[in-house]
Amino acid sequence: MRRLVLIGPAAEPRPHHINIGQISWDFSFSTEILIKRNHSSRLPARQKHFQLRTMLRELVLTDRSAFAAGAVIYGIAFLLGLVMLLLRRPYSRAAMFALLSGGFLIQTLGLNLRGAEIKACPLGNSFEIAQFISWSLVLLFFIIGPAFRLRLLGFFTAGLAALLSGVALLVPNWDQPYPAGIFGGNPWIELHAALAIFSYGVFAILSLVSIMFLIQQHGLKKKQFRGVYQYLPSVQQLDQMAKRLLLTGVIVLSAALLFGAVFWVNNPELVPIFKLTATCLIWFGYLVVVVLRIQKKLVTRHHAIASIILFLLAIASLWPVQSAREEPSAGVEATVQPSK
């Protein structure tokens, strides 16, 4: 069970230090300071602090509960946007940003907890991959959202992040145990996996931008003026953003494949052929779209449709790839039990 336990000084045993990734959190230190301060304070304040300590002692945060909290916050952000749109009013960007930040921080904590447990980047099963894509998606929103001020991107990001994170939590089979040290202690292959999944995050936000483009274009072609259309960014902005995201995603995925290729050349027997073929096909598909886009042969609507289809294929290919990887190790006893 991977969990972060906040324990007061009265609890035994007292794990004063909890290692989460590279960070060591000392919770008992803060509670002891709290008690020292209590000696000099008056009785009602002391009682209040003791109550707080008791509450902290009760608080148990597992990686899955962190992921669940993150998904719920993303869901709240999406609902906030939806309600405001139904009321035909723009939502508060600050509120959307704050909710996404909250969800992102808690999801980061969840990934840290799981990463600390498996001592690797948490990309060992479909659940972790879905969480990582959702996390990358929100991270990218923080990068491009404020810079390009694309209206409604926060709303769509919150929706997709909640969906990916929520579905992963609702399907227990996705969080199957897997052998520890799945990446064989090779940092390059771990970097390959992280970059590849991050590029899927880029493609996720690209597909969101493409959906927004198609909605706005549909509104303009069908002479629709009210509702969601008036809050979406312009078609030209969305198209240009899609082009930039496509290039970024392909560069990141190419780098990921380059690192993976080094490992594959040295250990061809360890890389399932299905995984290799599916990944290369997805990469090739995106590469073709890039080339056609640069040649101005695949632009605007067709480009948006191609980006959405490729992302769906990329997501769909993850599970067969995952199964292909799990097959050889099916007999290996799982040493890491994901918390339920």
- Interface residue list for other proteins (CB under 8 A): 88, 216, 219-221, 223, 225-226, 229-230, 232-237, 239, 296, 299-302
Cβ distance 107 to 131 under 8 Å?
Answer: yes
CB 223 → other proteins: shortest distance, Å?
5
Q: Which residues make beta-bridge pairs with 62?
A: 3
Structure tokens at 318: 């993850």
Which is closer to other proteins, CB of 154 or CB of 219? 219
Which is closer to other proteins, CB of 121 or CB of 232? 232
CB 197 → other proteins: shortest distance, Å?
30
CB 145 → other proteins: shortest distance, Å?
16
Rounded Cα–Cα distance for residues 41 and 289 (Å) = 67
Cβ distance 337 to 64 under 8 Å?
Answer: no
Which is closer to other proteins, CB of 233 or CB of 338? 233
CB 283 → other proteins: shortest distance, Å?
24
CB 298 → other proteins: shortest distance, Å?
9
Ramachandran region, residue 21 (left: φ > 0; alpha: ψ -120 to 50; beta: rest): left
Which is closer to other proteins, CB of 39 or CB of 223? 223
Of 132, 140, 180, nearest in space to 156 by CA: 140
Q: Which residue stretches of the chain are H helix?
A: 27-40, 43-58, 63-86, 93-118, 126-148, 153-170, 187-221, 235-266, 273-294, 300-326
Which is closer to other proteins, CB of 128 or CB of 239? 239
**Which string of DSSP letters, residue by residue, matches 293-326?**
HHTTSS-HHHHHHHHHHHHHHHHHHHHHHHHHHH
CB 92 → other proteins: shortest distance, Å?
15
Helix (H) or strand (E) holding 61: strand 60-62
Which is closer to other proteins, CB of 234 or CB of 277? 234
